[in-house]
């Protein structure tokens, strides 16, 4: 029987040598063949029942030694197979760990914010105060004090978000001018940047956008001075070569009133698809302050005159950066914002 154990040991050594030790499945198969319930070692243990009682202890000892040796050799082979498999996997998907990690994209200021800050900086250097006002306004400050009483036809032009009886989201930053005139004595000059809200939403309009309005009040303010200030302002925004023109218009809080156009920033005033062949693009409204507005704020219109103007910051940003659709400005799309 001892000879059988010696032959069995030699057989295991031969099969172990032929097994692909770098393949885990092959080593597992060898383990099952030798150590499984129907394996070679188990079969030898069962033969002990056929031996005389005095031979069983010595035979059992030899079988256990063989089992322990086979088990250790197979466990070592399994560890080696796992190691080889891991090395192969790492080699296939090798990564240079000395490379820098994935960077977090750096943010940048929004194009509308850039325009807002540039406008504030420009007018601050000209001595203008800055007042942002409030988003929620009453009917008095948003309409009536601006010479727009309840029965005034110009109210039909305003699509307003009402929050309650005579309370609304402001449709213009002109309301801030009323607050300012009530709390400050002339002479003064101020601008009012901020958000405004209108029931409007298409490719060129949004229900919420940013405006900046300006107001100058003193004893000898003229429309000619208004034109001069706005020409310098447009040169700052669009370059020294830009031209301006003023078209008669109507706003209830200014008289006379005008729409201001600038020469098309895309074609230089020659006429293109963007300016509809006219060579001009509308940029904002302006005019001399209506005497009734002064009266509503407790300012003597016989002593003081003034001018006011207003521009859409989103529109200026669209013109400066050739943005085709206003929805992109509020899209929060990193692909769009990363261009600025």
Residue 14 CB contacts under 8 Å (≥ 6 apart), including other chains: none
Three state DSSP letters for the chain = CHHHHHHHHHHHHHHHHHCCCCCHHHHHHHHHHHHCCCCHHHHHHHHHHHCCCCCHHHHHHHHHHHHHHHHHHHHHHHHHHHHHHHHHHHHHCCCCCCCCCCCCCCCCCCHHHHHHHHHHHHHHHCCCEECCCCCEEEHHHHCHHHCCCCCCHHHHHCCCCEEECCEEECCCCHHHHHHHHHHCCCCEEEEEEEEEECCCCCCCCCCEEEEEEEEEEECCCCHHHHHHHHHHHHHHHHCCCCCEEEEEEEECCEEEEEEEEEECCCCCCCCCCCCCCCCEEEEEEEEEECHHHHHHCCCCCCCCEEEEEEEEHHHHHHHHHCCCCHHHHHCCCHHHHCCC
Please tell me whether 65 is known to bind a ligand: no
Contact yes or no for 128/189 (Cβ under 8 A): yes
- In whole angstroms, what is the distance from residue 141 CA to residue 162 CA? 14
Binding site residue list for Mg(2+): 255
């Amino acid at each position: 029987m001892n000879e059988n154990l010696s032959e069995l040991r030699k057989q295991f050594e031969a099969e172990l040598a032929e097994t692909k030790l770098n393949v885990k499945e092959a080593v597992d198969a060898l383990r099952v063949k030798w150590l499984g319930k129907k394996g070679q070692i188990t079969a030898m243990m069962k033969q002990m029942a056929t031996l005389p009682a005095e031979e069983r202890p010595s035979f059992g000892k030899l079988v256990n030694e063989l089992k322990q040796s086979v088990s250790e050799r197979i466990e070592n082979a399994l560890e080696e197979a796992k190691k080889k498999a891991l090395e192969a996997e790492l080699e296939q998907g090798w990564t240079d760990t000395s490379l820098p990690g994935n960077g977090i994209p750096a943010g940048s200021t929004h194009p509308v914010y850039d325009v807002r800050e540039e406008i504030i900086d420009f007018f601050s250097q000209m001595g203008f105060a800055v007042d942002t006002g409030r988003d929620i306004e009453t009917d008095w400050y948003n309409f009536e004090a601006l010479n727009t009483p309840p029965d005034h036809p110009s109210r039909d032009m305003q699509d307003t978000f009402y929050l309650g009886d005579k309370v609304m989201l402001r449709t213009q930053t002109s309301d801030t001018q009323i607050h300012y005139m009530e709390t400050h004595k002339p002479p003064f000059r101020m601008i009012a940047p901020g958000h405004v809200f209108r029931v409007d939403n298409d490719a060129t309009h949004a229900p919420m956008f940013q405006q900046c309005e300006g107001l100058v009040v003193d004893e000898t303010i003229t429309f000619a001075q208004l034109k001069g200030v706005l020409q310098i302002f447009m040169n700052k925004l669009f370059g020294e070569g830009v031209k301006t023109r003023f078209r008669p218009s109507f706003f209830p809080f200014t008289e006379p009133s005008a729409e201001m156009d600038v020469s098309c920033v895309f074609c230089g005033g020659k006429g293109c698809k963007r300016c509809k062949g006219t060579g001009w693009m509308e940029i904002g409204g302006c005019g001399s302050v209506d005497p009734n507005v002064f009266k509503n704020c407790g300012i003597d219109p016989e002593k003081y005159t003034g001018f006011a103007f207003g521009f859409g910051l989103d529109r200026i940003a669209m013109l400066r950066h050739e943005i085709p659709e206003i929805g992109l400005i509020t899209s929060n799309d990193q692909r769009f914002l990363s261009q600025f």
